[in-house]
Structure 1
Amino acid sequence: MGKQRYKLAMAGLAASLAVSMLVGCSSNSGTSGAGDVLHITMMNQYSSPEPPRADNPFVKKIEEYTNTKLDITWIPGSAYNDKVNVSIASNDLPQVLMVQDPKSSSIINAQRSGMFWEVGPYLKDYPNLSKYNANPLVLNNISVDGKVYGLYRARALARQGIAFRQDWLDNLGLKQPQTIDELYNVIKAFTLDDPDKNGMKDTFGLVEAEDSNSGMGAAGLSGFRTIASFFGAPNQWEVRDGQAVPEFMTEENMEALKFYKRLYDEKLLNQDFAATKAGKQGEQFYQGKAGMMFTTLDFIITGGNEMKKANPDAKVDIVSRIKGPKGERVFATTGYFGVFLFPKATVKTEAELKQLLAFFDKIVDDEMIFNWTWGIEGVHHTKDSTGEPTISDQTAYSNEVSPLKQLPTYDGALMIWKGKGEADNKFRTMMKDNEAIAVTNPAEPLISQTAVEKGTELNKIITDARVKFITGAIDEAGYNKEIERWRTQGGEQIIRDYTELLAKQGN
């Protein structure tokens, strides 16, 4: 391994540094001959406090196992999309380019122009990619004009739920909520009934935050789509009488809005929710100010550990199935977070493409799935006399293994591991079981040029209307006027686009 070096994340962003392993992301790096070490250049993002270090032992583990030299330029997540766009515009590309959103305008245009290899026909030739990277629903979601250009980084389809203070429930003698009414009653009790037993009215039931990147119809509240699904609303879009209908134009959506407005009016919800940045609601939860938040189900591990630091006696638990008018429903995610694309400018032959696909296939075989889960034996985990593994150095695992989970297309997220413990396997089981009741977005694989060009500004109309309705700045008639404004400024064309595309698919 060479020395770790830093590169600018993008032109003009001097504060954003990209860290390269080895010699950086150079298009001059090539594949090797058969039997020799394969050099791979890649650009990827990191969300950890620091990028993976050049001397990371898990990097060396991957390289030794796959007979490769990895030259990865790590870009901070906050600067990543800009860096991708700059790289595409300048044609300064690695052999492997991770993109967060394959449906962004620039990426769609690049795929349509023939800049990247179409990889869909090759997946069947790789035992692990064909198993972990070939879900028909997800492949459809990432496809462009029916073609699959990338390997998707699989994520659980049904991973959303509710985290709450189980010790507060115990203090109040309440059971975990199973219906919308019970959910409301718990939120109310967490606000009014002194759940922490300190003799003061210093708690509130639900903490919310803005979430401007969660897609059409979901932006503005991080948990709104979860609540809307409980009320029976569609997942962003539905097909009704042959026409595409956005979620925010349905009666079920309005019922969910009224539920939120009730929470706001009764001060059961943090009054500054619209100004609370996405991801920051956890801080109020950890501080013991709030008793409930909508989040991903793995929060029972990540959030539970943080809560223990702040309050060792606190107990965190999760639920996901809340019965509403249409029974138990959860919204389905896209099933992926980012895709790996292979530029033809740097991957010049089919043979080189196959070598890269073989690398991604090998890092999700059975042995590596175990390693992604537990790390390296003697460094991150130990085994008992029966061979059962246990994480032995959580700090090293968090610093060395977790950040590199940006690399595999599947990391064993739904696999049940005995040594992971009851809480860990609980959320994995819940995510797997909830796939049976997950409501998908029928418009996810569709491309409306109007949505690509105007989606961001149109989403803001709905975002603002939702917040104004909840806070009482507008009533239902005012909300409907904002929907009409959305329609006249481009939304009606999006409806027509999706209706036509869905008809072609036979929906």
Structure 2
Amino acid sequence: MRKANVVCTMVAFILVCSIAAGCSDSGSSATAPNGSGQPQGQEKKEERTLKMMSGVIGGKTPEENTLFEKEIERLTGIKAKLDKPASDYDQKLLAAIASGEKFDLLQVSKEKMNLFIEQGVLAPLTDQVKGSKVLQDPDVLPPQEWEQVKTKDGKIYGVFTKFQGGTMPIVRNDWLKKLNLQEPKTFDDYYKVLKAFTEQDPDGNGKKDTYGLSTAGMYELQGFFSGAGLKQRYVEKDGKLDVPYSTDAAIPVYEWLNKLYKEGILDPNFATNDTGKMRNLFLTDRVGMITYWDAWVGMLNNTRKQQDASTVFEAKGLPGVAGPNGSYMLRRGDPDVWVIPVNAEHPKTAFEFIEWWHSKEGIVLGSMGIKDNDYTENGGKYELTKTGQEHAMDHGVPFWYNKKFPNPFGLLPGVKDAQDLVLKYATLELTPPKWADAEKIINEYSFKAIQGQMPAAEAVKKMREQLKANKLID
């Protein structure tokens, strides 16, 4: 995190210097105080070109990124240059800007947006957004969604790239049916279901080789901490920041998870799993429940259906454990947004592109992909090519807000119900800039509590002491 902060400081310094230099140049021109090289009142019209950087939006290969650029130009007339690193996007983004590269448009997470706002890297878009007929259309972007990206003083620096869902427990619903089990609602219900998945041979192979639950570390246990009414990451009360997972109220949840671990119900490799390993266990009949994104309910169902058209496999999203007041608490994912740096050379074109991104053509590109490469279209009827089927309608926009353009293929099985749970029960997390530092401490002591290396009460006490000592909670 220290390295990232140093790079961000460099970013801010370079941007300030470039802005200052721009002001100096414009002030020294007698004939062009507007800095355009043209007489006043005759500013040069901005070129319709964009330099963009994205982590997920674009083609699936470098060659497809080139096709993606050409498709943008075909559809909008904007000549685009898309930089899409194959890995380590955030680090490469920071390094590129720190080295002096200028971009017109960046795709970033809300967490990174907040960091960039602090560093003075981003241009505010409040007036443009409020004045945009496209972005103010409630059928294009629901008005209440803007609260996700507004700063405390009501400013807007980023515009959604897609509809961002949420996370939840995902269960093998076919296993529930096979074992005559009801959907769980309480901690006791979940224990009974997960124990049955472990001991009653739900895959029918005659071997005791299944687990009730697998996770990728602490990702995403919000659905279980919901049972104690605790929000993941940070909460703010009376101007003070706190981490609910480090409070005494979390102790019973850690003890419950430790019980699963001790009895072999929780995958013993949960702490070192990545999300790919977790998903693979679910897809290969090794585990009956995972904690993951709503979108993956459909993708898991579709994957198994593609492998075997007659499969009984059925993934289903659950709302988690009911809290003390009977309500549920799920996590809404931080939105991905388009942002415009303060030193962008083509900011008007960048905002024009942002508006276009929420149109039918923009949505088709972000979801289906490139015409004649990922899909064909005839008289308004779309058909995915073999390549398009492999890309699963996700070139950065698997789901979108615009109600005027419904998904022409419909949603994958189970997704609609899972998304309804998100919209009903999920809220955004509060993620301050030093979250990565806090997360290391939270994970360390959470794992010790769950794996029984330390009593839950002691682990919570140590966690809290470390968070306070590092000034990560107030």
- TM class by shorter chain equals 0.7 to 0.9
Matches within 5 A, 1:9-20: none
Amino acid at match of 2:85: I
Amino acid at match of 1:190: F
Deviates more, 1:307-316 or 1:475-484: 307-316
**Equivalent residue number for residue 363 of structure 1:** 357
Q: Which runs of 5+ in 1 are unaligned?
A: 1-29, 211-220, 497-507
Q: Which has the higher contact order (CA 8 A, sep 6+)?
A: 2
Matches within 5 A, 1:235-314: 235-238=232-235, 244-308=241-305, 313-314=311-312
Matches within 5 A, 1:157-196: 157=165, 159-196=166-203
Are 1:329 and 2:340 counterparts? Answer: no
- Contact 2:251–2:457 (CA<8 Å) still a contact in 1? no
Q: 2:103 aligns with which of 68, 81, 94?
A: 94
Question: For the residues of structure 2 that align with 1:240 and 1:108, how far apart are their CA atoms?
Answer: 23
Q: Give the SS at the match of 1:45.
A: coil
Question: For the residues of structure 1 that align with 2:331 and 2:291, how far apart are their CA atoms?
Answer: 15
**Equivalent residue number for residue 471 of structure 1:** 451
**Equivalent residue number for residue 419 of structure 2:** 431
Does the C-alpha gap of structure 1 residues 181 and 324 become closer, same or farther in structure 2, counting only changes over 3 Å?
A: farther
Does the C-alpha gap of structure 1 residues 272 and 71 become closer, same or farther in structure 2, counting only changes over 3 Å?
A: same
Q: What is the Cα deviation at residue 378 of structure 1?
A: 6.9
Matches within 5 A, 1:299-448: 299-308=296-305, 313-322=311-320, 323-337=322-336, 339-347=337-345, 352-369=346-363, 372-374=366-368, 380=374, 389=381, 391-399=383-391, 402-403=394-395, 405=397, 411-412=400-401, 417=406, 420-421=409-410, 423-424=412-413, 426-432=414-420, 434-441=422-429, 443-444=430-431
Q: Give the SS at the match of 2:344.
A: coil
Amino acid at match of 1:50: T
Amino acid at match of 1:438: A
Spell out, residue by residue over 1:364-410, the C-alpha distance to the aligned partner (whole angstroms, 9 max, x if none): 124543564555777655789xx88564425325449623549xxx7
**Equivalent residue number for residue 18 of structure 2:** none
- Structural RMSD (CA): 3.6
Across the two proteins, how many residue pairs are aligned to each other? 428
Amino acid at match of 1:79: D
TM-score, length-normalised on structure 1? 0.73
**Equivalent residue number for residue 50 of structure 1:** 61
Are 1:84 and 2:93 counterparts? Answer: yes
Matches within 5 A, 1:52-71: 53-54=64-65, 56=67, 59-71=69-81
Amino acid at match of 1:72: L
Q: What is the Cα deviation at residue 189 of structure 1?
A: 0.9
Matches within 5 A, 1:196-235: 196-210=203-217, 221-235=218-232
Deviates more, 1:237-246 or 1:464-473: 237-246
Q: What is the Cα deviation at residue 101 of structure 1?
A: 5.2
Amino acid at match of 1:84: L
Q: What is the Cα deviation at residue 293 of structure 1?
A: 0.8
Deviates more, 1:352-361 or 1:392-401: 392-401
User: Quick check: which one's strand share is greater?
Assistant: 1
Q: Give the SS at the match of 2:288.
A: strand
Does the C-alpha gap of structure 1 residues 381 and 98 become closer, same or farther in structure 2, counting only changes over 3 Å?
A: closer
Does the C-alpha gap of structure 1 residues 369 and 457 become closer, same or farther in structure 2, counting only changes over 3 Å?
A: closer
Question: For the residues of structure 1 that align with 2:223 and 2:453, how far apart are their CA atoms?
Answer: 24
Q: What is the Cα deviation at residue 363 of structure 1?
A: 2.4
Q: Give the SS at the match of 2:304.
A: helix
**Equivalent residue number for residue 462 of structure 2:** 482
Does the C-alpha gap of structure 1 residues 146 and 241 become closer, same or farther in structure 2, counting only changes over 3 Å?
A: closer
Amino acid at match of 1:355: T
Question: For the residues of structure 1 that align with 2:348 and 2:377, how far apart are their CA atoms?
Answer: 36
**Equivalent residue number for residue 218 of structure 1:** none
TM-score, length-normalised on structure 2? 0.77
Amino acid at match of 1:457: D
Does the C-alpha gap of structure 1 residues 45 and 147 become closer, same or farther in structure 2, counting only changes over 3 Å?
A: same
Q: What is the Cα deviation at residue 193 of structure 1?
A: 0.4
- Contact 1:320–1:330 (CA<8 Å) still a contact in 2? no
Q: What is the Cα deviation at residue 102 of structure 1?
A: 4.6
Does the C-alpha gap of structure 1 residues 152 and 207 become closer, same or farther in structure 2, counting only changes over 3 Å?
A: same
- Contact 1:235–1:439 (CA<8 Å) still a contact in 2? no
Question: For the residues of structure 2 that align with 1:309 and 1:485, how far apart are their CA atoms?
Answer: 50
